[in-house]
Amino acid sequence: MFGWKKTPPIRTLIGEGTTIAGEIRFQDGLRIDGEVQGNVLAQGDGRSLLVISEKARVTGKVRAGHVIINGSVVGPVTAEDLLELQPKARILGDVHYEALEMHQGATIDGELHPLKVDDKPTLKLAIKNA
């Protein structure tokens, strides 16, 4: 859908109970289960995956190709390809996205900005089938 051949591997894990203060720069994939006080930024060709799990909290800028959030982010979020907001996602900050998938229960306290303003943004609301 977004020109990806395959999902980048998650090579780094910040475990639950771990707190990191400072900027994190990563390639390929990163999963955060703990807390980061600082920016979390993907490097490289844009093919990156960032997973912020249900128990995770990030205070700072977040930027990656494919971003999946089910935890808390205080700061701006940029997803260069796809932003997936799971049901427990909480964002306090502006969101920039190429495509957005938002599940029922996720919240954003900020402005939504599509990266390509000349095209209609891809916005998809995911709902549970009962």
Cβ contact 86:106 at 8 Å? yes
Q: pLDDT band for position 129 (50/70/90)? A: low
> Over 60: is that where the pLDDT of 96 sits?
yes
Strand partners, 12: 30
The label of the residue with tokens 């943004």 reads: 121
Q: What is the mean pLDDT of residues 63-85?
A: 96
Strand partners, 67: 50, 83
DSSP E strand stretches across 1-130: 10-14, 19-21, 24-26, 29-32, 35-37, 40-42, 49-52, 57-59, 62-69, 72-74, 77-85, 90-92, 95-103, 107-109, 112-114, 122-126
User: pTM of this prediction?
Assistant: 0.86
Instruction: Look at the alpha carbons of 1, 56, 94, 77 in this order and tell me if their dihedral is positive or negative.
Output: negative
In the prediction, which pLDDT does 100 show?
A: 94
Q: pLDDT band for position 4 (50/70/90)? A: very low
In the prediction, which pLDDT does 116 show?
A: 79
Q: To the nearest whole number, what is the mean pLDDT of the chain?
A: 89
For residue range 5-62, what is the model confidence (pLDDT) as tens digits?
578 889 899 999 999 999 999 999 999 999 999 999 999 776 899 999 999 999 999 9
